[in-house]
Structures are given as structure tokens and as C-alpha cells.
């Protein structure tokens, strides 16, 4: 093995705590082994050297596009690390979404590099959402296919709305409905922005509700933005209406949002 590659392998072992723990059967080790390709390893080692990521200690979520890990930075702060797969079957969808986004200039033909653009766009979306007072994880840094952000939770990640819905009462759903509609409105009217995948799966319940998963979010000047707004609004109204919330009329609400 080349010298540089060996160094990177060592660093990855440090990051996943392999030498201290020797838990070759841990979930973290398994997932890391399966999804950390050469690019991901190089990227993680770069973030490690810069102190942005000291260690990963758990798998939070495995998805078809990305995996999310719990980690810690050099100062001991907990971080969430979203690592996009550089090989994805979602290439076409990602390409279409990026092609419609006026903020994205050059579109690489190579899948790996396209995923880098996708990652950077999610980082920018997080910054933009926070700027318009929407509670989202604070974006800390990104590089290639890796996004590092504030960890929402304590030892364990905060639950998603979907995970706790059975424990909630109508009153809770009413509050959450107001919150979610407020997010849609603020993003659209003040931020000229739309989330595009707003659902019970992408809202974490913490001290306040936190909106995550900003990979599909885009700006209003995107030719797909109204379609995305409609989708968010419809999903949210349908979901909360099923939970017994006296929701607003979809068409009326949409009209209200679209008029300036």
C-alpha cells in the first residue's frame, strides 16, 4: 500500500476508534467498511486533520443516498456527520434537481463530483434557513461528500416527529402544525426558499422542533419551486389533518402564499 494511503487508513481507524475498541463487529465498523470509499476516507481524514472531526462513535441513520453518524469535533462538541454515497442510484434525480437550481452553475458529468455539489448545496441551504429564523442544525463545515453540522440531541439523537407521534395529543399536533406552516411561510415569503421534503420524517423534536434534511431545498427562482411548495404544503396539511388538527384549506393557503 502506498505511504499516503496507509496514513489515511490509520486516520480512519482513529476516527472510528478501531484500535482502542477493536470492535470489528460494531455497527459503526460495519457501515464504515461498507460505505467509506477512497474519496470518503480522504475527506474524513482531511476533516480530522483540521479538527472538525475527531471521532465518529455511532451510526444514526442509514439511507440510500446518505448515512448520518454521531461524532465529536476536536473541542469535544458533538456533531452530526452526513456522508453522501459517492455512488448513488439517485444520480438522475440529483442531476435534475441541481439543473433546475439557478444558484448552481457548472454541473459536473461525473457522479462523484455531482454529489459534491449536492453536499455543498445542502450546506448553503442550512445557512440560508437559519438566516430566516428557521430552526435547523447549524452547518459547521463541508468537504466533498461530507457535511458536518450541529448534533440535535444529547447522547442519543433527538427523535423524529414520526417516532413519537403515538405519544402525542391533538394539542401537541396543533402546535406542531402551526410551527410547520410557519416554517413554510417564513421560508417562502421572507427567505424566498422552499424545503421540498418537509414531513414528519424530517422534523426532530428537541427543545424546539428542528427541521432537518435540506438537500432538496431550493430558492423561489427555481422553476420547480412552486411544485415543491405545493408538495410540502399538501403533505403537511394531509398529515396534520389525519392527526385531528383543524387544518386550513390547501388551495386557499397556497393562493395566500403565492400572492405577494
Ligand X SMILES: Nc1ncnc2c1ncn2[C@@H]1O[C@H](COP(=O)(O)OP(=O)(O)O)[C@@H](O)[C@H]1O
| Closest alpha carbon to 82 in 35, 38, 50 | 35
| Catalytic position from the list 14, 25, 155, 197 | 197
Q: Count the Cβ atoms, other than its own, within 10 Å of residue 128.
A: 20
> Residue 65 carries which DSSP code?
S
Judged by beta carbon, residue 125 or residue 202, the one nearer Mg ion is 202
Work out whether strand 203-205 and strand 66-72 pair parallel, antiparallel, or are unpaired. Answer: unpaired
Distance CA 93, CA 104 (A): 15
Judged by beta carbon, residue 1 or residue 156, the one nearer Mg ion is 156
Binding ligand X (rule: CB under 6 A), the pick from 81, 149, 211, 236 is 149
Could you tell which of Mg ion, ligand X, none binds residue 211, using a CB distance below 5 to 8 A set by kind?
A: none
Distance CA 39, CA 67 (A): 15
> How many residues bind Mg ion, per CB under 5 A?
2
Give the residue carrying C-alpha cell 433527538.
158
> How many residues bind ligand X, per CB under 6 A?
21
152 φ/ψ angles, rounded to the nearest 5 degrees: -95, 115
**Mask 213-232, x = binds Mg ion (CB under 5 A)?**
x-------------------
* Residue 197 annotated among the catalytic residues of the structure: yes
Binding Mg ion (rule: CB under 5 A), the pick from 43, 199, 202, 222 is 202
Stretch that binds ligand X, among 101-109, 149-157, 186-194, 227-235 (CB under 6 A): 149-157
Scan residues 158-177 and list those touching ligand X (CB under 6 A): 158, 160
* Residue 232 annotated among the catalytic residues of the structure: no
Taking CA atoms, 196 is separated from 32, 65, 173, in Å, by 29, 16, 21
Q: Are 187 and 194 in contact (CB under 8 A)?
A: yes
Binding ligand X (rule: CB under 6 A), the pick from 37, 153, 185, 250 is 153
Query: What are the catalytic residues?
Result: 197, 213
Give residues in contact with ligand X (CB under 6 A): 60-61, 63, 65-66, 68, 80, 82, 137, 149-153, 157-158, 160, 201-202, 212-213
Amino acid at each position: 500500500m502506498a505511504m499516503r494511503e496507509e496514513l489515511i487508513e490509520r486516520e480512519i481507524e482513529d476516527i472510528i476508534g478501531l484500535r482502542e475498541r477493536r470492535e470489528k463487529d460494531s455497527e459503526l465498523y460495519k457501515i464504515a467498511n461498507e460505505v467509506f470509499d477512497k474519496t470518503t476516507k480522504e475527506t474524513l481524514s482531511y476533516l480530522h486533520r483540521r479538527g472538525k472531526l475527531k471521532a465518529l462513535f455511532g451510526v444514526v441513520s442509514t439511507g440510500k443516498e446518505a448515512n448520518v453518524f454521531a461524532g465529536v469535533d476536536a473541542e469535544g462538541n458533538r456533531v452530526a456527520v452526513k456522508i453522501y454515497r459517492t455512488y448513488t442510484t439517485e444520480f438522475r434525480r440529483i442531476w435534475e434537481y441541481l439543473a433546475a437550481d439557478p444558484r448552481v452553475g457548472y454541473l459536473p458529468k461525473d457522479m462523484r463530483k455531482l454529489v459534491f455539489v449536492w453536499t455543498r448545496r445542502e450546506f448553503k441551504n442550512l445557512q440560508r434557513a437559519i438566516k430566516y429564523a428557521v430552526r435547523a442544525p447549524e452547518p459547521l463545515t463541508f468537504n466533498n461528500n461530507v457535511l458536518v453540522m450541529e448534533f440535535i440531541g444529547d447522547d442519543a439523537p433527538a427523535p423524529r416527529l414520526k417516532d413519537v407521534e403515538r405519544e402525542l395529543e391533538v394539542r401537541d399536533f396543533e402546535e406542531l402544525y402551526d410551527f410547520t406552516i410557519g416554517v413554510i411561510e417564513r421560508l417562502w415569503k421572507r427567505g424566498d426558499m422552499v424545503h421540498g421534503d418537509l414531513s414528519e420524517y424530517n422534523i426532530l423534536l428537541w427543545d424546539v422542533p428542528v427541521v432537518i434534511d435540506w438537500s432538496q431545498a431550493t430558492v423561489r427562482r427555481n422553476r420547480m419551486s412552486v411544485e415543491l411548495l405545493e408538495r410540502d404544503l399538501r403533505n403537511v396539511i394531509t398529515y396534520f389533518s389525519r392527526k385531528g388538527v383543524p387544518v386550513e384549506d390547501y388551495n386557499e393557503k397556497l393562493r395566500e402564499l403565492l400572492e405577494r
